[in-house]
């Protein structure tokens, strides 16, 4: 068996598990976001801010992936939201089985929103569907506005781009407009937000969009 064959086999096994996850989430009317980015782009901070604003009205669960440490789950729990840490050891991405296995403990519970924080990696998570509704790609201005051009598979796989850490714009050479433009050249269908979890600039637009997606999940599909 060649390397390519095996890779295809791993990906296709993952796809059937992802389909099962997706069916289960759909049945329960749960909105599922898969947050992907480089290490340190601000996924956990954005989840913390999101949790603070949503937790009173929507039932929320966070699955957070890292090679090691429980730090992110602890940070999120401190905001009063349920969080499960998945440690992958050496693996550079979460997969559909890890998501399914970690939801078993939460069986019976209904969630309006499941946020999956993937391992910080701008390559591997692009290939592994977890059964989410949408991949949300974060790129911080500190990484440089050329990054979408260098990692096109992740940009193509995502539905939403969050240009994060905009508070750092004055101290870097990055232009958030150019960053977004570079991403839109690869994937013109991206919904784009620019925000800072630190200063809260731009958070309202993100929250408004997320609330409208949550509300849509509650509605039966139009005939």
Q: Which of 14, 102, 140, 158 binds a copy of itself (CB under 8 A)?
A: 140
Q: Which stretch binds a copy of itself (CB under 8 A): 26-34, 105-113, 129-137, 139-147?
A: 139-147
Residues between 57 and 116 that touch a copy of itself (CB under 8 A): 66-69, 71, 90-92
> Of 128, 137, 64, nearest to 95 (Cα)?
128
User: Where does this chain touch a copy of itself (CB under 8 A) — which range of 32-40, 110-118, 130-138, 212-220?
Assistant: 32-40
56 binds a copy of itself (CB under 8 A): no
From 118, 105, 32, 30, select the one nearest 72 (Cα to Cα): 118
Return the closest-CA partner of residue 195 out of 46, 60, 50, 93: 46
| Alpha helices by DSSP H, the chain | 3-27, 43-54, 71-77, 96-104, 147-150, 152-157, 176-186, 203-218
* Region 171-210 residues binding a copy of itself, contact defined as CB under 8 A: 171-172
How many other C-beta atoms are found inside a 10 Å radius of the C-beta of residue 141?
A: 25
SS (H, E, C) 166-198: HHHHHHCCCCHHHHHHHHHHHCCCCEEEECCCC
Nearer to a copy of itself, 176 or 214 (CB): 176
Phi, psi of 193, rounded to the nearest 5 degrees = -125, 145
- Residue 121 sits in the site that holds a copy of itself (CB under 8 A): yes
Which is it for the CA torsion 222, 133, 216, 61, positive or negative?
positive
- Interface size with a copy of itself, residues (CB under 8 A): 39
Answer for which of 8, 57, 109, 149 binds a copy of itself (CB under 8 A) is 149
Q: Is 158 helix (H, G, I), strand (E, B) or coil?
A: coil
Closest to a copy of itself by CB, 99 or 137: 137
Q: How far is the CB of 85 from a copy of itself (least distance, A)?
A: 11
Which residue in the set 15, 167, 201, 211 belongs to the binding site for a copy of itself (CB under 8 A)? 167
Q: Does 43 bind a copy of itself (CB under 8 A)?
A: no
Among the residue ranges 48-56, 78-86, 118-126, 207-215, the one whose residues contact a copy of itself (CB under 8 A):
118-126
The set of residues, in sequence order, having a beta carbon less than 8 Å from that of 28 and lying 6+ positions away, is 110, 111
Q: Which residues bind a copy of itself (CB under 8 A)?
A: 1, 3, 6, 10, 38-40, 66-69, 71, 90-92, 119-124, 126-127, 140, 142-144, 146-147, 149-153, 165, 167-168, 171-172
């Amino acid at each position: 068996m060649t390397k390519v064959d095996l890779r295809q086999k791993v990906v296709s096994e993952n796809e059937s598990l992802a389909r099962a996850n997706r069916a289960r989430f759909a049945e329960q009317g749960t909105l599922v976001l898969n947050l992907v980015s480089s290490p340190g782009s601000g996924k956990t901070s954005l989840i913390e801010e999101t949790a603070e604003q949503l937790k009173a009205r929507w039932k929320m669960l966070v699955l957070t992936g890292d090679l090691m440490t429980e730090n992110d789950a602890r940070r999120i729990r401190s905001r009063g939201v349920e969080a499960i840490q998945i440690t992958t050891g050496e693996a550079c991405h979460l997969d559909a089985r890890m998501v399914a296995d970690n939801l078993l403990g939460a069986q019976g519970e209904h969630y309006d929103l499941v946020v999956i924080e993937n391992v910080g990696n701008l390559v591997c998570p692009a290939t592994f569907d977890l059964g989410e509704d949408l991949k949300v790609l974060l790129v911080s201005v500190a990484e440089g506005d050329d990054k979408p051009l260098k990692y096109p598979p992740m940009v193509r796989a995502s539905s939403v781009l969050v240009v994060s850490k905009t508070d750092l714009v004055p101290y870097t050479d990055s232009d958030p407009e150019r960053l977004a433009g570079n991403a839109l050249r690869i994937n013109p269908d991206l919904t784009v937000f620019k925000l800072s979890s630190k200063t809260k600039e731009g958070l309202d637009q993100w929250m408004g969009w997320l609330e409208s997606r949550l509300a849509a999940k509650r509605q039966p599909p139009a005939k």
